[in-house]
Amino acid sequence: MQSFTRRLMTINITKTAVDKLVAPTIGNQSRHYDNQLKGFGVRITSKGVKAFFLETTIGGKRKRLTLGRYPSLSVEMARKEAQKFLGKLAIKKNKQRLSVLTKNKGKDGSKESTKVYVMIDKNTGYYKIGRSKNPKIREKTLQSEKPTIEMLFNHDAKTVDEKVLHSKFSEKRVRGEWFDLCGSDLSMISDYFNKQNKQESFTNI
C-alpha cells in the first residue's frame, strides 16, 4: 500500500470500459475510479498494463491497495475482492468502536458491580437503602454506632440500582438513605432485583 492525495476521473468500470482504456501519452499512468463502488478503480500505465486497485482510509490515512492485473483478474472478481476488503475493514472498525464504548461504559460508576442492601433500625422502624462491596462489614460499622440496626437482605447489583430505588421511594425518604417503607415496598425491592437477575441470566446465555 502507498499513501496518496490525488484523485482522477470517474467511470462505470465494466469489461467494455476497461478494454477501451488507452495508455496515457503523458505521465507514467492514469487512474480511473468507479462511479458505483467508492475507492474501487483501474489504472493503466504508459506501456498499456492495466491493474485494479482500491483506495480507502486505514488508521486515519488514505491508502491504495493493488488488487491484481487485468485480464488475469476480471472486472467482476476485482469488484468482489474490493467489496470483501471493505466489508472486513468495516467489521474491524465496528469492533474497535464497540471496544471503545465497552471501555467507556460505566466510567461514571453507574455500571460498577456492588451490593445493594436494606437495613432496618428497630428503634425507629425506618429502613436504610444503601450499597456496599461488603454489606456485612457495613452493618457492623453501623451497629457500632447504633445497635438497633439490622440487615434484612442484600442483592448483587450495580451502583445505578441504588439510585433507582432512592428515586422510586423519594416521597418516603426520611433523611439521607433512610426511608419510611412498608411490607409491600420491601417486596417491590426484592422483585426488582429478581427481575434484574433474570435479565442478566438471559443475556449471558
pLDDT tens-place values along the chain, 205 residues long: 444 444 457 999 999 999 999 999 887 889 999 999 999 999 999 999 999 999 998 878 889 999 999 999 999 999 999 999 998 888 887 777 666 655 555 445 556 789 999 999 999 999 999 999 999 999 999 999 999 999 999 999 998 999 999 999 999 999 999 999 999 999 999 999 888 765 553 334 3
CA distances from 89 to 59, 77, 86, 95, 190 (A): 11, 18, 5, 10, 46
Task: State how far the Cα of 178 lies from the Cα of 120, in Å rounded to an integer.
Answer: 9
pLDDT at 93 (0 to 100):
77
For residue 139 the three cell numbers come to 452493618
pLDDT at 25 (0 to 100):
84
pLDDT at 148 (0 to 100):
95
Sign of CA dihedral 114, 178, 176, 194: positive
pLDDT at 4 (0 to 100):
43
Fold of 2-90: Double Stranded RNA Binding Domain (3.30.160)
47-67 per-residue burial string, b: 16 or more CB within 10 A, e: under 16? eeebbbbbbbeeeeeeebbeb
Contacts 24+ apart (CB under 8 A), 113-116: 113/156, 113/157, 113/158, 114/157, 114/158, 114/159, 114/162, 115/154, 115/155, 115/156, 115/157, 116/154, 116/155, 116/157, 116/161, 116/162, 116/165, 116/193
DSSP string, 152-164: EEEEEEEHHHHHH
pTM of the full structure = 0.47
pLDDT at 110 (0 to 100):
56
